[in-house]
């Protein structure tokens, strides 16, 4: 496997001082799953653990009627026409199996030898990412609520990339629990920086100046803060506000602008597909027009991927 450019080597991050601690109950429950999952990994290997995860997901699909209904509503929203009942059932079951496997992999990640973990990631059009990193100005990557971002946040730093993510300040307990274990297992990489979406933008500017690959999801369900920049786009037949603050900063900093989708494959393998949202940042003359063009192209790609891989919807 080839390595990333030298300019992309990961550095220790600044951990937010206000990051909430993992509660005792969360630590206990996650520790139990971590231990059981690790034991299954030792006995069955990754392929056996993957089969177990899909079995657990199928069981959850059978008994969790409320979540099945929520997924059915979300699935229907992205479809151009109502799918046959058999397709709906298969897609719903795949959603449960995929999400269960992703969470299981995320929790037992530190059990996997690093050399093996590095082989579980594939980057399609990696040349686009490396060319963007080689400019040395940082890179902005538009993500979406589609696919397991948390898993890629663990895997991609092992390839030597320096990453940061802009996300909602309400951190989930599972992410904080796993990050603690990840920091201990791979101290030379530390964690990818987490920047909260309602914080001051200077940290985003700083990350890009340091050559970081900065990712954020623009397709939010609602805008939490009135000062956050957004643009109305039509997606799935409805007008929605998409957050554009980090995108505006990327345009002003003249950094390459990409988009990425994460697609899980069999046996805990993950594929990242890199798309271009703007070919050359040095050719931008009208910042507002560039932001608008990027966010509308981003929305078109979200529609395409959501309809191609509906079981990977994460906002359910």
Tell me: the pLDDT tens digits for 256-301? 999 999 999 999 999 999 999 987 888 898 999 999 999 999 999 9
Euclidean distance between CA atoms 287 and 291, whole angstroms: 6
| pLDDT reported for residue 157 | 86
Residue 10 has pLDDT above 50, yes or no: no
Which residues, 6+ apart, have CB-to-CB distance to 23 below 8 Å? 173
How distant, in Å, are the alpha carbons of 202, 208, 234 from that of 223? 20, 24, 16
Euclidean distance between CA atoms 93 and 62, whole angstroms: 9
The sign of the torsion formed by the CA atoms of 206, 218, 164, 261 equals: negative
| pLDDT reported for residue 247 | 93
Q: Within its chain, how far is the Cα of 192 from the centroid? A: 12
Supply the DSSP symbol for 82: P
Which residues, 6+ apart, have CB-to-CB distance to 274 below 8 Å? 123, 124, 125, 126, 128, 129, 258, 259, 260
Residues in the chain: 316
pLDDT band for position 18 (cuts 50, 70, 90): very low
pLDDT band for position 168 (cuts 50, 70, 90): low
- In this structure, the strands spanning 139-143 and 213-217 are parallel
Q: What percent of the chain has pLDDT over 90?
A: 52
pLDDT band for position 184 (cuts 50, 70, 90): confident
Tell me: the pLDDT tens digits for 23-40? 788 888 888 988 999 999
Collapsing DSSP to helix, strand or coil, 232 comes out as: strand
Euclidean distance between CA atoms 287 and 285, whole angstroms: 6
Structure tokens at 287: 């910042």
Residue 303 has pLDDT above 80, yes or no: yes
pTM of the predicted protein model: 0.86
Residue 251 has pLDDT above 90, yes or no: yes
| pLDDT reported for residue 225 | 62
Tell me: the pLDDT tens digits for 79-131? 988 899 999 999 999 999 999 999 999 989 889 998 999 999 999 999 999 99
Residue 222 has pLDDT above 70, yes or no: no
Residue 3 has pLDDT above 60, yes or no: no
Supply the DSSP symbol for 136: S
Mean pLDDT of 221-250: 83
pLDDT band for position 304 (cuts 50, 70, 90): very high
Mean pLDDT of the chain: 85
């Amino acid at each position: 496997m080839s390595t990333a450019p030298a300019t992309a080597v990961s550095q220790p991050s600044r951990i937010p001082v206000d990051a909430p601690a993992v509660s005792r109950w969360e630590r206990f429950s996650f520790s139990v799953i971590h231990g059981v999952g690790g034991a299954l990994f030792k006995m069955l290997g990754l392929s056996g653990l993957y089969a177990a995860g899909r079995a657990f997901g199928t069981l959850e699909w059978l008994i969790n009627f409320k979540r099945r209904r929520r997924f059915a509503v979300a699935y229907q929203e992205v479809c151009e026409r109502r799918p046959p009942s058999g397709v709906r059932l298969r897609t719903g079951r795949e959603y449960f199996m995929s999400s269960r496997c992703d969470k299981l992999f995320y929790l037992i990640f530190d059990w996997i030898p690093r050399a093996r973990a590095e082989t579980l990631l594939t980057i399609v059009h990696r040349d686009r990412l490396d060319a963007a990193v080689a400019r040395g100005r940082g890179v902005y990557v538009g993500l979406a609520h589609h696919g397991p971002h948390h898993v890629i946040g663990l895997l991609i730093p092992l390839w030597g990339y320096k990453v940061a993510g802009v996300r909602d300040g309400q951190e989930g307990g599972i992410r904080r629990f796993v990050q603690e274990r990840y920091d201990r297992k791979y101290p030379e990489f530390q964690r990818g920086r987490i920047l909260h979406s309602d914080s001051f933008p200077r940290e985003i500017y700083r990350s890009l100046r340091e050559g970081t690959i900065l990712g954020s999801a623009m397709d939010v369900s609602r805008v939490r803060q009135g000062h956050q920049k957004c643009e109305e786009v039509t997606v799935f037949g409805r007008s929605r506000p998409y957050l554009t603050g980090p995108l505006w900063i990327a345009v002003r900093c003249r950094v390459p602008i990409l988009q990425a989708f994460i697609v899980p494959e069999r046996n805990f393998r993950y594929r990242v597909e890199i798309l271009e949202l703007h070919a050359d940042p040095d050719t931008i003359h009208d910042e507002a027009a560039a932001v608008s063009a990027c966010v509308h192209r981003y929305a078109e790609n979200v529609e395409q991927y959501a309809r191609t891989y509906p079981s990977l919807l994460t906002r359910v």
